[in-house]
Amino acid sequence: MTSITATRRPRIRMIDSEADALGDLAVTIADRLPDVSAMLLTEIGRAHIAPAKNVADSVVTMHATVDFTDQASGATRTVQLVWPAEADIEAGRISILTPVGAGLIGLSVGQSILWPDRSGHERTLTIERVRGERAGGELTAVDSAEEGAGDDRETDQDGRGRNRPAR
């Protein structure tokens, strides 16, 4: 059995335009959803912010479809991360304003995070696969079999992640 070690707050990346919009949204909802607002602002504050072309396809961004595993239950869920007006839990579209949504943004395939659920219990969430439409309409899909450990990546000149060669 493989052991998963979650980093409380692993390195994350965000698309610049999404980080700006998420920051505005977090400030707007601060009175109504102070915990989620604080989580989002903290994540934006610690993220490496870059133009979309410099964020690897393996990173969870808005509108990405994500397969993640809840290590406590072993259950794997597939969700699409969306803006609040687009959310529909029955269709698998979760809002960025949910604790899970705020925890997934910016993570890469293979990364795990220790993150609170709605009841305040800490859960280890591990990103297994990311797919979706990126800038320019290109469809992408990256899974953990392609990524390895997720953090063992380099970025080539156009910013797309690639695995390091075996040494």
* In the chain, domain spans: 56-147
Record the pTM.
0.76
Q: Are 12 and 105 in contact (CB under 8 A)?
A: yes
Q: What CATH number does the domain located at 56-147 have? A: 3.10.50.30
Q: What is the pLDDT of residues 58-114, one digit of tens each?
A: 999 999 999 999 988 899 999 999 999 999 999 999 999 988 899 899 999 999 988
Res. 17 pLDDT band, cuts 50 70 90: very high
Mean pLDDT on 38-55:
94
Reduce the secondary structure of the chain to three states and give it as a string: CCCCCCECCCCCEEEHHHHHHHHHHHHHCCCCCHHHHHHHHHHHHHCEEECHHHCCCCECCCCCEEEEEECCCCCEEEEEEECHHHCEHHHCEEECCCHHHHHHCCCECCCEEEEECCCCCEEEEEEEEEEEECHHHCEEEEEHHHHCCCCCEEECCCCCEEECCCC
Residue with the bigger pLDDT between 132 and 165: it is 132
